[in-house]
Amino acid sequence: MKNITRSTDIKMTTGWRMIMALLVLTAVSCSEDFLERKPKGQLTYDTFFETPDHAVWATNAVYQQYRSWEMCAFPWIGITDIISDDADKGSTPNDALYVLELDEFTFDGTNAAITGAWLGHYQAIFRANLAIDNIPGIEMDSTLRARLIGECRFLRAYAYFRLVQWYGDVPLITTILNDDQYYNQERTSKELVYDFIETDLLAAIEALPEKDEYASADLGRVTKGAARGILAKLYAVQHDFPKVIEQCDAIINSGEYSLLARYADNFLPVGEHGDESIFEISAVASQAAIVGPGATPFNMIQGVRGVPNLGWGFNRPSDDLVSEYEAGDPRRQATIIYVGEVLPDGSTIVEDNPEVLNERYNQKAWVPAHSGLQDNGPGNIRILRYSDILLLGAEAYNEENNPVKALEYLNMVRTRARGSNNFILPNVTTVDKSELRESIYHERRVELAMEQNRWFDLARWGRLAEVMSLVQPNFVASKHVLLPLPQSEVDLTGGTLVQNNGY
């Protein structure tokens, strides 16, 4: 009896000791720290916007969004070139039918290009707002800080400028929204959006250096000239021609820019950030990358489809565009790749692809062979060239009854296009205001063809209805001068956002 009791005691003691030891060990892991876990290899919002580097990174991220699918592929090409009289859908008849809807004016607010462009530009605005809101709180060099904010304000303003030209009145989001603001934003009248864009661009002009004032490593950042150029376009949309002249002349007289001797060079690697380039979004094909982090789909979607196999073959230069060129204008050859033509680098001949009807490609989106796959596209996306500013200046001077100055700028462009061939593209000499206007409009079309300008030009000239109804029978003037808001935006706000007329 006694023995049994004793042995139980020993058991008890040993057992309890072990249990206590385990419980103590367990308690160590019990603390709340054990449950605090953070994403690996990522900063989090509560540790971001603290150093000067963060300010630079947040700004660079806005540029990156300009290389996104939404801002440079189907949505961008679709509602600039393809929707206009410059281009048709291209590719095989059944590929990406929603892009065909743009060409044929059968789209509505569910079209993926129209919703995509809206989304992509507001995402750029989101990134810019985040940077503009947070960079001022970072302790850093004040010049650099001002410049970065200036870059972001330009990139935000330019996104709004596109939106307002496509959709008319749009919600004006100028900061990061709180969750109680998600669903109740209204459309801001386009005049107020213009004012906002103007304020941003004036601030950017103030803060940004000229192209040659940047360090070499910063080539490609937004410049004072770029901000002036977009501001000139904004004023043109508002038909405020004295201010257009003011901005254009500021660029022209800055000495920063000149026309390249060869028009076609603008679209080759040699023309990237050349003397004629005022603003372009840089891209690069990283070595060894299937799809590198610096690339864009811009070249692929417009690349030759078939043999050679360079891409998908969208954005076919239209018959209407082809007929716009004057006889012998070398810009036609520099803009369009035809079947049987040798590629600009002399590498190969484009063969006929029977699945693609009336094959033709946008040569301005062509890039030489590069590493990686087709979507590792290295071509910079040209946004604003000096010749655009010259023609805009010419247009404004003509509207302001100064044909001499207008002719000077216009013929600078024609002279360069002509090159050494004096049998083509004679100087325009008319001083009749409306004749000269037509000459300038014609020159803008051929000089800037397939560079995503045409739709915006037609819109600000008030000529969308007149021009588009000739080539697209479905075009309804009262409706199609503005694109529909994405239908999901109308639905999600319960109608607070009112759809555009006719959609």
Partner 1 sequence: MQMKTLRILLYSLLWLPFTSIAQTTVTGLVLDANSNEPLIGVTILEAQTDHGTLTDLDGRFTFVVSSADPTLIFRYTGYSTVEIKLDGRDQLEVKMAEEATLFDQIVVVGYGTQKKSDLTGAVSSVKGKDIARIPTANVEQALQGKVSGVYVAPSSGTPGAGAVIRIRGTGTLNNANPLYVIDGMITYDASNVNPEDVESIEVLKDASAAAIYGSRGANGVILITTKGGKTRDKASITASGYYGVQQVTKQIDLLNAAEFASAYNDLRGQQFFPNPDSLGEGTNWQDEIFRMAPISNVSLSANGGSEQYQFNFSANYFSQDGIIENSHYDRLTFRINGEYKLNSYMTIGHNLSNSSTREDVAPGVVNTAYRMPPVYAPRDSTGDFSDPTFFGLAIANPAADLYYKSDNHTTGSRLFGNLYGEIKFLKNFKFRTNFGIDKISWQSEYFEPKFEVSASQLNLNDRLSVSNGTEGKPNRNDWIWEQTLTYDHTWNEHHITALGGYTAEERNGFWLGGSRENFPGTADEILYLSAGNDTTQMNFQGANDEALTSLLFRVNYTFKNKYLLTVSMRSDKSSRFTKANRTGNFPSASVGWNMTDESFVQGLNFLDRLKLRASYGVLGNQASASGYPSTGAVSSALYGIFGPDESLNQGATLLSLSNANLQWETSRQADIGVEMGFFDGRLAMEVDWYNRETYDIIAAVPIPDYVGSQADPVVNTAQVNNQGWDISANWRQGGTVAYNFGVIVSPVTNSVEKLAEGRSEIFAAFLQGEPASHTIVGLPIGSFYGYKVGGIFQTQEEIDGSPTLGGEKPGDIRYEDTNLDGILNGDDRVYLGSPIPKITYSFTAGVEWNGFDFNADILGAGGHYVFNAKETFRFSVYNWEQHVEDRWTLENPSQTEPRITNGGHNYKVSDRFIEKGDFIRLRSLSLGYTIPTGVSSKAKIDRLRVYVTGTNIWTSQEYSGYSPEFPNAGNTYEVGFDFGGYPIAKSWQAGIEIQF
How many C-beta neighbours within 10 Å does residue 390 have? 25
Least distance to partner 1, CB of residue 493, Å? 6
Q: Which is nearer to partner 1, 96 or 448 (CB)?
A: 96
Residues 6+ apart with CB under 8 A from 222: 150, 151, 154, 155, 204, 208, 279
Phi and psi angles of residue 502, each rounded to the nearest 5 degrees, phi first:
95, -10
- CA 427-331-158 angle, to 5 degrees, is 95
Applying CB under 8 A, among 52, 168, 308, 419 the residue interacting with partner 1 is 308
CB–CB of 233/161 below 8 Å?
yes
Which amino acid, one-letter code, is at 329?
D
Give whole-number Cα distances, 108 to 120, 169, 488, in Å: 18, 17, 11
Applying CB under 8 A, among 6, 9, 51, 53 the residue interacting with partner 1 is 53
- Asked if 315 touches partner 1 (CB under 8 A), the answer is no
Stretch that binds partner 1, among 28-36, 257-265, 384-392, 425-433 (CB under 8 A): 28-36
- N-to-C CA span, the chain: 97
- Asked if 158 touches partner 1 (CB under 8 A), the answer is no
Stretch that binds partner 1, among 215-223, 324-332, 403-411, 462-470 (CB under 8 A): 215-223
Applying CB under 8 A, among 40, 323, 420, 478 the residue interacting with partner 1 is 40
Which amino acid, one-letter code, is at 393?
G
Q: Which is nearer to partner 1, 47 or 429 (CB)?
A: 47
The continuous run of DSSP H or E covering 87 comes out as strand 87-90
d(CA 148, CA 296): 23
Q: Which is nearer to partner 1, 93 or 426 (CB)?
A: 93
Q: HSE, CB side, 13 Å, CA atoms: give it for residue 372.
A: 22
CA R_g for the chain: 28
- Asked if 340 touches partner 1 (CB under 8 A), the answer is no
Task: Please tell me the count of residues contacting partner 1 according to CB under 8 A.
Answer: 106
Among residues 248, 37, 250, 61, the alpha carbon closest in space to that of 152 is found at 61
**Can you tell me whether residue 376 is helix, strand or coil?**
coil
Residues numbered 351 to 370 that lie near partner 1 (CB under 8 A) are 351-356
- Asked if 337 touches partner 1 (CB under 8 A), the answer is no
Applying CB under 8 A, among 3, 216, 253, 420 the residue interacting with partner 1 is 216
Applying CB under 8 A, among 258, 287, 415, 427 the residue interacting with partner 1 is 287
Instruction: Concatenate the DSSP letters of all residues of 259-315 into one string.
Output: --SSGGGGGSGGGTT-TTEEEEE-----TT-SS-TT-BSHHHHHS--SSS--S--EE
- Asked if 189 touches partner 1 (CB under 8 A), the answer is no
Residues numbered 77 to 136 that lie near partner 1 (CB under 8 A) are 92-98, 106, 110, 112, 115, 118-119, 122-127, 129-131
Q: Which is nearer to partner 1, 211 or 414 (CB)?
A: 211
Per-residue x/- track, 472-501, partner 1 (CB under 8 A): --------------x-xx--xxx--x----
- Asked if 65 touches partner 1 (CB under 8 A), the answer is yes
- Asked if 175 touches partner 1 (CB under 8 A), the answer is no
Q: Which is nearer to partner 1, 51 or 258 (CB)?
A: 51
- Asked if 190 touches partner 1 (CB under 8 A), the answer is no
d(CA 346, CA 173): 48
Applying CB under 8 A, among 177, 202, 291, 471 the residue interacting with partner 1 is 177
Q: Which is nearer to partner 1, 182 or 191 (CB)?
A: 182
